[in-house]
Chains A and B, each alone.
Chain A
Amino acid sequence: MSATAEIAITRGPDNRSGAAKTALALLIAAPVFAVIATLLASLARFEPTVWAHLLDYWLPEVLGNTALIMLGVGLGVTVLGTALAALVALTDFPGRRVFAVALLLPMAMPGYVLATVVIGQLDFAGPLATALRAVGLPVPPIRSVAGLILTLTLTLYPYVYLVARGAFVSQGARTLEAARLMGFTPWQAFWRVLLPQARPWILGGALLALMETLADFGTVSAFGVTTFTTAIYRAWFALFSIDVALQLALVMLVVVALLVMAERLSRRSARFVSAQGAQAPLSLGRWRWAASGLCGGVLLLGFALPVLQLGHWALSAAAPISQLLPLAGRSLALAAMAAGLTVTAAVLLALVARTTPGRRLATLQTVATLGYALPGPLLALGLFVPYAGGIQWLNQQFDLAWMVHGGVSLLLLAYAVRFMAVAHTPLHTQLMRLSPSVDDAARLLGVGRLARLQRVYLPPLNMAMLTAALLVFVDVMKEMPITLMMRPFGWDTLAVRVFEFTREGQWADAGAPSLAIVAAGLLPVLLLTRVFNPKADHVS
């Protein structure tokens, strides 16, 4: 068969494979549709008094707060994550090699833990605030929108840092060199060439941080700041209107979908080719110690101090460590299984979308990632209600009572829905770096579909897959509300134990399990840094 004939065949409408691919994508997005269906079903029950109450006393405040927090956290993680990534990837300063790895560590720190430590130290009664007041430096009220933004930024900047660093490392040096040859200063080259090139990665990371911010309740409530999620909880647990809670969540989901689509549109035309190669890092001159100071400061606040505090608590509580081992085992097992499942689904989804022209699959892709922006309990409920309903119906026909909890599989499914966005982002951005000409070339050469998958798409995705798996792993380790609501008997995890202690404020007892969560999250975080273009780390 001649090459032209092959082109004609593969470029022509391929309805059969297109339909199969759409079906696969639909299957992966199906749980999200189930959740959306639960949300939509709530529209049938309108409760005007609850809505009127929320409109009068909650929505104006929480909308303002939420917008402010999104803006602050969005700016915070973008600026901090990008700056740190650029510093460690492109410049030379004392400790750079260590910081490159260590700056990912705050990712292992659950937001609710950092919040408790920050408030415990810096609120009026905190030791640090008291000491500062004694020397005439009163700390402004930490339980405020500003304090919340600061804390969320410290836990969420690694999403931006991770992907931005990958972008800078893989294409920064060559690009900078080329730009320099064209007469740009390094500073100009960074702003005019490198940063625009890295934009899709940075935006992708920032979007993850924003979705997580929207869904957060633990950190927000520790700070006593009201957000849209607080209003959802108010409707659900204080005004006992689950339907209004679901309706509010629907509003939130629409906003997030718009955000995601805006981000997709902003980079639709952008596809980037990676340039391999490396070059000596830029010298910062006198400023090199300032760079060390910035990295060190971030690490101190986002990781070292909270770990010290947790260690102090763990030592002051008497519980034997051996009690934690089975909990840790289950946490690790769940995180590993969820990572495998989520990444597999995300890879399939990304590949299907890549190899099928048209908007339809891109939209499905967007839908499949929306779970990350929903508060955990609502997501769990959205999955559990249709599932339990179906099982109860089945149960009337057959004896399936044991299935009512769905066992671990339903929990894993919920994790996959929740963290699909986390797995999807690195995969999607990596695929974007693969020039479309690669697809054409493979087709031209008559490479079959399966072979194309194995030889063309998966090899460059290897690293991204590992990154995605590790991100999901760390997130599942920290996850609390879904684990609580959907775990079957005997599946208590470290996060469950932390919840049990902290809900009555017994932080000393929660110290050891919290520390175990951080420790278990460390290994993948350290692995992550080796994943990211290890060659570039060895440039001297």
Chain B
Amino acid sequence: MQRSLLRTLSLTLLALAPALALAAEPPTLVVYSARAQQLIEPLFARYTAETGVEIKVLSDSEGALMQRLQAEGKASPADLLITVDAGNLWQAAERNLLQATDSAVLAKNIPAHLRDPDNRWFGLSVRARTLVYASDRVDADALSTYEALGDDTWKGRLCLRTSQKVYNQSLVAMMIAQQGREATEVTLRGWIDNLAAAPFANDTQVMEAILAGQCDVGIVNTYYFGRLQSENPDLPLKLFFPNQGEGERGVHVNVSGAGITRHAPHPEAAQALLEWLSADDAQALFASLNQEYPANPDVPMDPQVAAWGRFRQDLINVSEAGRRQVEAVTLMDRVGYR
């Protein structure tokens, strides 16, 4: 019985011992990342090999990272925030978590519509959120625009991902930016009427449902399609790039990108990393690791990605997705898009 008390106490001491040794040295360059770890690790390893600069990464979801940055304030060790989706990047800038970077290199490498107008963040890779269809059941001629998926012909044949995912929020935000709230609401109501199943938790499930015959067409990010295609080259699915007609707005694209944090301890080193990521091999690798399109138009795309075909993209600045995100979410709730 004496021992049990001792055991309790020693367990407690054991619990606190490592905590006392926590005063670790600050890492050279600290990156907070909401982009999947396996997609950035190879890049940073190469950067360290080339420059000798050590990079430490802390991964979490974007919301939690922003909250963490905000709570840490001036004492934050983070130099760079990397995340997917322009909506998230806009939000980080809006909450004053990022600082402007005045860089001729970045201004040259990254097209204006793929970066913050105030240069607080820069898109580093591009993904198209486009249509995918069962190529054995659907004729590509039957497809035209995002909006047309709300037509009666698609009743019970459409699959969508949940509105909780920011990718769909950004898509809808850009629709509102282009054609206004009323027209977007009509489109959304059409989509909801045409759903073959409750919205799915991820894009892969949408494509699996199409493969299984539960529905015929869906909206997904291109790289999810790429992933399935790599597993099975004979996949009976095809991508379709909508809204390509005269006067139409083009395919909705989004970015993954990065910005230097407001209180970055090493802003110059962070800028050097950002510039390195925006050019040449690093830029190509950044995109191809996830089968995305390079943000820098001078960098060649991955052959598999190039084979999906060329398309005209929506050229409105992607920060619009952030500016109108709450409006988009509100509208999706109104029409019952869960």
A-side interface residues toward B, CB under 8 Å? Answer: 53, 56-58, 119, 123-125, 130, 141, 143-144, 221-224, 226, 230, 233-234, 236-240, 242, 333, 336-341, 343-344, 347, 377, 380-381, 384-385, 388-389, 391-392, 395, 401-402, 404-409, 412, 453-455, 458-459, 461-462, 465, 469, 481, 484-485, 487-490, 492, 496-497, 499-501, 503-506, 509
A225→B77 CA distance, assembly (Å)? 37
- CB contact under 8 A between A409 and B76, given known A238-B164, A484-B60: no
- CB contact under 8 A between A224 and B5, given known A344-B11, A500-B37: no
Q: Is the CB of A221 within 8 A of B164?
A: yes
- CB contact under 8 A between A392 and B73, given known A226-B338, A343-B11: yes
Q: Is the CB of A341 within 8 A of B15?
A: yes
Q: Is the CB of B64 within 8 A of A481?
A: yes
B161-174 contact mask (Cβ, 8 Å, vs A): 1 or 0: 01010100100000
Q: Is the CB of A505 within 8 A of B203?
A: yes
Confirm or deny: B104 has a beta carbon within 8 angstroms of a beta carbon on chain A. Answer: no
Q: Is the CB of B22 within 8 A of A384?
A: no
> What are 16 pairs between A and B in contact, CB < 8 Å?
A56-B333, A125-B205, A143-B198, A221-B164, A337-B14, A337-B15, A392-B74, A401-B75, A404-B76, A408-B18, A458-B5, A465-B8, A489-B24, A489-B56, A504-B36, A505-B203
A110 CB to nearest B CB, Å? 16
B167 CB to nearest A CB, Å? 11
B14-25 contact mask (Cβ, 8 Å, vs A): 1 or 0: 111011001110
A239→B24 CA distance, assembly (Å)? 37
Q: Is the CB of B27 within 8 A of A239?
A: no
A468 CB to nearest B CB, Å? 11
A454→B91 CA distance, assembly (Å)? 56
Q: Name the prevailing secondary structure of the A interface residues.
A: helix
Q: Is the CB of A404 within 8 A of B15?
A: no
Q: Is the CB of B212 within 8 A of A53?
A: no
Confirm or deny: B38 has a beta carbon within 8 angstroms of a beta carbon on chain A. Answer: yes
Q: Is the CB of A53 within 8 A of B330?
A: yes
- Specify which of B12, B68, B169 is in contact with A341 (CB 8 Å cutoff): B12
- CB contact under 8 A between A57 and B15, given known A458-B5, A501-B36: no
7 nearest CB pairs, A to B: A407-B22, A340-B11, A409-B19, A125-B212, A337-B15, A57-B333, A404-B75
Chain A residue nearest to B77 (CB atoms) is A404
A309→B124 CA distance, assembly (Å)? 35
B5 CB to nearest A CB, Å? 6
CB-CB under 8 A from A230, the residues of chain B are: 164
- CB contact under 8 A between A224 and B1, given known A125-B214, A239-B329, A402-B23: no
CB-CB under 8 A from B204, the residues of chain A are: 505
Confirm or deny: B281 has a beta carbon within 8 angstroms of a beta carbon on chain A. Answer: no
Q: Is the CB of B75 within 8 A of A123?
A: no
CB-CB under 8 A from A226, the residues of chain B are: 338
A407 CB to nearest B CB, Å? 3
Chain B residue nearest to A129 (CB atoms) is B212
Q: Is the CB of B209 within 8 A of A124?
A: yes
A377→B201 CA distance, assembly (Å)? 20
Q: Is the CB of A338 within 8 A of B15?
A: yes
A341→B204 CA distance, assembly (Å)? 41
CB-CB under 8 A from B15, the residues of chain A are: 336-338, 340-341, 344, 412
Confirm or deny: B58 has a beta carbon within 8 angstroms of a beta carbon on chain A. Answer: yes
Confirm or deny: B135 has a beta carbon within 8 angstroms of a beta carbon on chain A. Answer: no
Q: Is the CB of A58 within 8 A of B36?
A: no
Q: Is the CB of A238 within 8 A of B169?
A: yes
Q: Is the CB of A388 within 8 A of B208?
A: no
B219 CB to nearest A CB, Å? 16
CB-CB under 8 A from A501, the residues of chain B are: 36, 38
Q: Is the CB of B64 within 8 A of A125?
A: no
Q: Is the CB of B63 within 8 A of A237?
A: yes
B36 CB to nearest A CB, Å? 5
Confirm or deny: B202 has a beta carbon within 8 angstroms of a beta carbon on chain A. Answer: yes
- Specify which of B4, B198, B227 is in contact with A458 (CB 8 Å cutoff): B4
Chain B residue nearest to A404 (CB atoms) is B75
A485→B63 CA distance, assembly (Å)? 10
A377→B197 CA distance, assembly (Å)? 30
Chain B residue nearest to A144 (CB atoms) is B198
Q: Is the CB of A57 within 8 A of B14?
A: no
CB-CB under 8 A from B30, the residues of chain A are: 489
- Specify which of B4, B169, B197 is in contact with A462 (CB 8 Å cutoff): B4
B150 CB to nearest A CB, Å? 20
Chain B residue nearest to A316 (CB atoms) is B231
Q: Is the CB of A239 within 8 A of B59?
A: no
CB-CB under 8 A from A497, the residues of chain B are: 37
